Amino acid sequence: ESALTQSPGTLSLSPGERATLSCRASQSISSSYLAWYQQKPGQAPRLLIYGASSRATGIPDRFSGSGSGTDFTLTISRLEPEDFAVYYCQQSGNSLWTFGQGTKVEIK
Amino acid sequence: QVQLQESGPGLVKPSETLSLTCAVSLHSISSTHSWGWIRQPPGKGLECIGSIYYTGTTYYNPSLKSRVTISVDTSKNQFSLKVRSVTAADTAVYYCARLGPNWIDPWGRGILVTVSS
């Protein structure tokens, strides 16, 4: 089982700034099996990125994903007010799908 | 656009069985996807409980396997979750979702289940 560790725990930024979120796997995983989700308070998570770098339907191009092996990154190029939320990475490389503990992007 | 909706009791007593159903609409449950349950304790992260394919093939999180059953009813286009012998640690928002080969989308809105006497 590959554990996922996200950093930082909280990212304090202003609208318009760039956000860089990290997800590190305890074992190498194929980039095909890494996804990112956004969760706002009181809402279900929403798929943003799958296959490490493919945007899900309807996701703005300010969201991008990259990485391979054990290190993956979600980048939000210019934060919009609606982007302040918690972000989770998730791996599907083995039978037990697991999530990172989340990174909260808050308004500075 | 496929939609999922969880239903069931919001309060379950300790040692009893938690039972939830997920109704799938605008999409046949007998498709190439799997269907799963994920939970989130208040203020905490996400945990996959298990999944089922329309044929009935299941996968369970090993940490919960002894207490969990997931079943599917293709005639009603829905699938269900049972968690036996619940404790306060099972208090969480329970989500149902469609599982692709390497993604989870969409998710239901979630249902808060509290375990308390």
Question: What's the pLDDT tens digit per position in B44-103?
Answer: 999 999 999 988 899 999 999 999 999 999 999 999 999 999 999 999 999 999 999 999
> pLDDT tens for residues B101-110?
999 999 999 9
- Partner-chain residue, chosen from B102, B108, B110, that has the shortest CB–CB distance to A32: B102
Indicate the pLDDT class of residue B32, thresholds 50, 70 and 90: confident
Residues of chain A with pLDDT under 70: 1
**Minimal Cα–Cα distance from A23 to chain B, Å?**
14
Query: Residue A95: its pLDDT value, please?
Result: 85
> Residue A56 has what DSSP assignment?
P
Structure tokens at B86: 């619940």
Contact (CB<8Å) B45/A99: yes
* A96 CB-contact burial (10 Å; exposed 0-12 / middle 13-18 / buried 19+): middle
**Minimal Cα–Cα distance from B106 to chain A, Å?**
7
Q: Is A13 on the interface with B (CB under 8 A)?
A: no
